[in-house]
C-alpha cells in the first residue's frame, strides 16, 4: 500500500506542476488493491482545475453499496492533498 500511495503522490505532484504551468497532463487513475477506493483525476489545464471522480465500495461484490461522487478542485487543494498523502505514507512505516 505505501508503494501505491507513493506512486499516486508522484503522479499528483506532476499534475500539480502541470496545472501551475498551464501544461497538458494526462488523467490519473488510482485503484486500491481490492478496488474499494477508486480515484480518477481529470485535469483541465485551461481552467487550472481538476475533476475528481471517486468510487467507494466497502466490499468488492455485486450487492455491495457503491458511493460515487464527482467534484472539482483547483490547484490550491494540492499542497494539503500532498501533505496528507505524506502523513498516510509515513503512518504505514
In a domain, 93, yes or no: no
Q: Is the pLDDT of residue 31 over 70?
A: yes
pLDDT given for residue 63 in this prediction: 78
Q: Is the pLDDT of residue 17 over 80?
A: yes
Q: pLDDT digits over 35-80, tens only?
A: 889 999 999 877 889 999 999 988 877 777 889 999 999 999 999 9
In a domain, 83, yes or no: no
Give me the chain's average pLDDT, please.
Answer: 89
pTM for the whole structure: 0.85
pLDDT given for residue 92 in this prediction: 54
In a domain, 85, yes or no: no
Number of domains the chain contains: 1
In a domain, 7, yes or no: yes
Write out the chain in H/E/C secondary structure.
Answer: CHHHHHHHHHHHHHHHHHHHCCCCCCCEEEECCCCCEEEEEEEECCCCEEEEEEEECCCCCCCCCCEEEEEEEEHHHHHHHHHHHHHHHHHHC
In a domain, 67, yes or no: yes
In a domain, 90, yes or no: no
And the C-alpha cell for 53? Answer: 471522480
pLDDT given for residue 72 in this prediction: 94
Amino acid at each position: 500500500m505505501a508503494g501505491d500511495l507513493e506512486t499516486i503522490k508522484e503522479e499528483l505532484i506532476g499534475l500539480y506542476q502541470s496545472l501551475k504551468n498551464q501544461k497538458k497532463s494526462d488523467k490519473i487513475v488510482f485503484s486500491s488493491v481490492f478496488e474499494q477506493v477508486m480515484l480518477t483525476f481529470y485535469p483541465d489545464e485551461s481552467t487550472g482545475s481538476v475533476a475528481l471522480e471517486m468510487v467507494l465500495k466497502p466490499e468488492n461484490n455485486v450487492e455491495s453499496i457503491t458511493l460515487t461522487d464527482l467534484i472539482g478542485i483547483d490547484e490550491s487543494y494540492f499542497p494539503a492533498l500532498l501533505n496528507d498523502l505524506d502523513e498516510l505514507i509515513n503512518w504505514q512505516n
